[in-house]
């Protein structure tokens, strides 16, 4: 019987693509992958981190900047910064918290630079749905899809009119679905402070959105 069990285990390992036994027994965490990057300059581990996180980071950058082209540049810069500062990562902390902070700081820098130059956040950006594509319903009818795209664009334009703090908490909370505790860790605030910022931002964006959404409903009637 022990021999049969050993044989079955061996066959299971072989069936999983001949991966090492340790990789079959548990899923690699972000922190474990980052430790390997930090200690061994492991490019494969870094590639796995990029694959896991490139879409969320792009979405965040798109929502904060309102420009998908700039968001793509910021995504690349975020991961370049992660690798360049890999020695500074504390492995007893969450990788995601560190990653979100890097992306946010790069977005803030980009927004301040844009403000100094007097640039419009939505200028020359024809791919407005990119940052908000996951807000629409799955496979809606063509009519509903057109309505959803129109409303997503209205929301996107309203979002970039909010102050940085409000834009950030709404993007993290409703765009990425993070919990209050996670947002508090990223922003180094209390949960109460995060909750207050969310309430203020929701009130602000509601005031911005209300006229546009009411007008859209009136035109569709």
Tokens found for residue 166: 């409000």
* Residue where one domain finishes, among candidates 71, 101, 123: 123
Q: State residue 17's pLDDT score.
A: 47
In a domain, 49, yes or no: yes
Residue keyed to tokens 């796995």: 48
Q: State residue 117's pLDDT score.
A: 73
Domain shared by 44 and 97, yes or no? yes
Query: What's the DSSP call for residue 176?
Result: S
In a domain, 179, yes or no: yes
Average pLDDT of the chain is 80
Domain count of the chain?
2
* List of residues 6+ apart from 43 with CB closer than 8 A: none
Q: State residue 19's pLDDT score.
A: 46
Domain shared by 106 and 146, yes or no? no
Query: What's the DSSP call for residue 29?
Result: P
Domain shared by 105 and 142, yes or no? no
pLDDT in tens, 33-46: 999 999 999 999 99
Exposure b/e, 161-196, CB count within 10 A at least 16 = b: ebeeebbbbbbbbebbebebebbbbbbebeeeebbe
pLDDT in tens, 117-173: 776 555 445 444 444 444 433 455 555 555 566 667 778 888 989 999 999 999 999
d(CA 97, CA 187): 9
Contact 65, 73 (CB under 8 A): no
132 or 78: which carries more pLDDT confidence?
Answer: 78
d(CA 28, CA 26): 6
CA quadruple 162, 168, 45, 10: dihedral, nearest 10: -120
Domain shared by 96 and 178, yes or no? no
Q: State residue 115's pLDDT score.
A: 82
Q: State residue 25's pLDDT score.
A: 44
In a domain, 7, yes or no: no
Structural domain containing residue 103: 29-123
Residue 113: band (very low, low, confident or very high) from pLDDT cuts 50, 70, 90: very high
Query: Closest Cα partner for 111 from 188, 152, 163?
Result: 163
Question: pLDDT exceeding 90 applies to what percent of the chain?
Answer: 59
Q: What is the mean pLDDT of residues 197-217?
A: 84
pTM of the model: 0.75
Q: State residue 184's pLDDT score.
A: 98
- The helix, strand and coil proportions of the chain, stated in percent and rounded to the nearest 5, come to 80, 0, 20
Rounded to the nearest 5 degrees, what angle is found at the Cα of 35, between the Cα atoms of 31 and 39? 175
Residue 13: band (very low, low, confident or very high) from pLDDT cuts 50, 70, 90: very low
- End-to-end, the C-alpha distance of the chain in Å comes to 73
Q: State residue 152's pLDDT score.
A: 74
Domain shared by 163 and 90, yes or no? no
């Amino acid at each position: 019987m022990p021999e049969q069990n050993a044989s079955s285990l061996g066959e299971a390992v072989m069936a999983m693509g001949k991966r090492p036994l340790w990789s079959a027994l548990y899923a690699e965490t972000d922190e474990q992958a980052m430790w390997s990057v930090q200690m061994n300059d492991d490019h494969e581990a870094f590639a796995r981190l990029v694959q896991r996180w490139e879409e969320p980071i792009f979405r965040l950058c798109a929502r904060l900047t309102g420009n998908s082209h700039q968001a793509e540049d910021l995504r690349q810069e975020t991961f370049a910064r992660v690798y360049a500062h890999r020695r500074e990562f504390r492995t007893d902390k969450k990788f995601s918290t560190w990653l979100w902070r890097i992306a946010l700081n790069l977005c803030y820098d980009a927004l301040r630079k844009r403000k100094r130059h007097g640039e419009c956040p939505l200028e020359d950006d024809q791919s407005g749905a990119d940052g908000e594509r996951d807000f629409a319903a799955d496979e809606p009818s063509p009519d509903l899809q057109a309505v959803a795209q129109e409303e997503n664009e209205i929301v996107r334009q309203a979002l970039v009119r909010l102050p940085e703090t409000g834009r950030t908490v709404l993007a993290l909370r409703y765009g990425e679905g993070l919990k209050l505790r996670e947002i508090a860790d990223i922003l180094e605030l209390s949960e109460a402070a995060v909750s207050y910022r969310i309430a203020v931002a929701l009130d602000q964006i509601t005031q911005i959105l209300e006229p546009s959404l009411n007008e859209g409903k009136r035109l569709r009637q």
